[in-house]
Amino acid sequence: MKSIWTGSIGFGLVNIPVKMYSASQESSLGFDMLDKSDKSNIRFKRVNEKTGKEVKWENIIKGYDLNGRYVILDDTDFEKASPKKTKEIEIDQFVEESQIDSIYYEMPYYLEPMKTGIRPYALLREALKKTGKVGLGTFVLRNREHLVVIKAIDDILIANRIRFAEEIRKPDISVPAATNKPAELKMAVALINQLSGKFNIAKFKDTYTESLLKMIKAKAKGKAIVSKPLRVAHVNTKDLMEQLKASVEGTGKRKKAS
């Protein structure tokens, strides 16, 4: 597993050097976009708005529109904006986790202590467990500031990114008032109680992806299957080899001539 961030957790006078790893992974199937007519892969191009010509990645830079004029920024500028926050999660406050609404939660990350961080890591973990609280702090990852909850689960510390207040929309939907009959409410409560149990995530499986994959495999056995993109790549490779050979032969001739 490759760490996505290295830095430290700052907590009072204690500094804990850690590596951060992504704690989640995608479980959905990936689909390729194809042209209906010949099943070629669809490619996206980044084009210059003026010339319409494709622009290479290496020639693409980032600019911020400041009152109609672009200010150009490079990687070092992003770091310079907040040198401390790019390398440190400063815990400003500890709160009860139940006070944080689930609407704020985003990506979870695992935190691994580096050599010099082993003892302070354990210290923070045990202190969090003892108080039943979680830490709140901010740091910068990939040019963006994030708010995180630091909490202890078993032997590890987890940083869970949470949204800032301004990232949550006002509920601009309509929920007209309605009255409940006491008997109905009583029944609904009874139903909830009947279906209540202990939370066990292992009981829930992503069955849609599974059945989708089954369907794809079944379709592949039938005749509707379309040639794999790998084969397409092979044709391209072959073409490229021929072109290159012609080009190399050209080079050879020129050399002999000179």
* Contact residues: other proteins, CB under 8 A: 1-4, 6, 17, 21-22, 25-26, 30, 57-59, 75-76, 79-80, 83, 87, 114-116, 230, 233-234, 236-238, 240-245, 247-249, 251-252
Distance CA 74, CA 61 (A): 7
Nearer to other proteins, 44 or 199 (CB): 44
The CA-atom distances, in angstroms, between 179 and each of 154, 175, 182, 188 are: 45, 12, 9, 14
Concatenated DSSP letters for 177-204? --PPPHHHHHHHHHHHHHT-----GGG-
Nearer to other proteins, 77 or 92 (CB): 77
Contact 24, 107 (CB under 8 A): yes
Nearer to other proteins, 126 or 239 (CB): 239
Work out the number of other CB atoms within 10 angstroms of the CB of residue 147: 17
CB of 252 to other proteins, least distance (A): 7
CB of 6 to other proteins, least distance (A): 8
Work out the number of other CB atoms within 10 angstroms of the CB of residue 17: 19
CB of 213 to other proteins, least distance (A): 16
Distance CA 225, CA 8 (A): 51
Nearer to other proteins, 59 or 67 (CB): 59
Nearer to other proteins, 139 or 152 (CB): 139
CB of 105 to other proteins, least distance (A): 21
SS3 of residue 216 by DSSP: helix
Nearest in space to 31 (alpha carbons), one of 226, 195, 246: 226
CB of 248 to other proteins, least distance (A): 5
